[in-house]
Chain A
Amino acid sequence: MKYLVGFSPDQGGREALALAAVLVRSSGGSIVVCNVIPETWGHPSMARVDAEYATFLEQHAKKALAKAREVLGKGISAEFISRSAASAREGLLQTASDVGADCVVLGSARAAPLGRFAEGNVTSGILHSASLPVALAPKGYSPGPRARVKRVTCAFSGAKNSSSLARRSVGLCESFNTPLRLATLVVRDKQMYPTGAGYSAENLVSNQMKRQANAAQAEVIANWTSPVKLAGAIGDGKTWRAAMDSLSWKEAEVMVVGSSGLGPILRVFLGSNSGKIVCNSPVPCIILPRGGEADAA
Chain B
Amino acid sequence: MIAQVSLGDRLTRKKPIEKLIGDAAGSDAEHGHLNRSITLFQLVMFGVGSTIGTGIFFVLAQTVPTAGPAVIVSFMLAGIVAGLTALCYAEMASMIPVSGSSYSYAYATLGEGLAFFVASCLILEYGISAAAVAVGWSGYLNKVFEIVFGSGLPASLTTAPIVADGYSLSFGGDGVINLPAALLVFLCCMLLMRGSKESASANAVMVLIKMGVLALFILIAVTGFKATNLQPFAPFGWGGISAAAGTIFFTYVGLDAVSTAGEEVINPKRNLPLAIIAALITVTSLYILVAVTALGVQPAAQFEGQEAGLATILQNITGSKWPALVLAAGAVISVFSVTLVVLYGQTRILFAMSRDGMIPEIFHRVNPRTMTPVFNTIFVALFVGAIAAFVPDAILWDLTSMGTLVAFMVVSAGVMILRRTRPDMPRGFKVPFYPVLPILSILSSLYLVYNLNPTTFKLFGVWLVFAAIFYFTYSARNSRLEKTAGAKA
A residues engaging B (CB < 8 A)? 157-159, 162, 184, 186-201, 203-210, 212-213, 216, 236-238, 242, 246, 273
Contacts and interface: CB of A to CB of B under 8 A. Distances in A.
A157 B256 contact: no
A134 B366 CA distance: 30
Contacts of B31: 200, 203
A190 B197 contact: yes
Q: Which 9 A-B pairs have the closest CB atoms?
A: A194-B46, A198-B99, A194-B257, A197-B348, A158-B368, A196-B256, A197-B345, A198-B100, A201-B348
Contacts of A192: 197-198, 340-341, 344
B432 interface: no
Interface of B: 23-28, 31, 34, 38, 45-47, 49-50, 98-101, 104, 125-126, 195, 197-200, 202-203, 254, 256-261, 264, 340-341, 344-345, 348-349, 351-352, 355, 364-369, 371-373
Given A158-B368, A206-B26, A246-B28, 5 more contacts: A189-B197, A190-B199, A193-B199, A201-B100, A205-B372
A204 B24 contact: yes
A193 B46 contact: yes
Contacts of B369: 157, 159, 273
Contact of A203 (B25, B254, B257): B25
Contacts of B198: 192-193
A197 B197 contact: no
Contact of B371 (A186, A191, A197, A204): A186
Nearest to B34: A200
Contact of B355 (A186, A190, A204): A204
A210 B352 CA distance: 16
Nearest to A184: B368
B27 A204 contact: no
Given A196-B254, A198-B104, A189 B371 contact: yes
Nearest to B364: A208
Contact of B368 (A162, A199, A204, A238): A162
A199 B25 contact: no
Given A159-B369, A205-B372, A197 B26 contact: no
Given A192-B341, A195-B257, A200 B98 contact: yes
B202 to A, nearest CB: 8
A102 B237 CA distance: 86
Nearest to A236: B27
A204 B23 CA distance: 6
A197 B101 contact: yes
Nearest to B50: A194
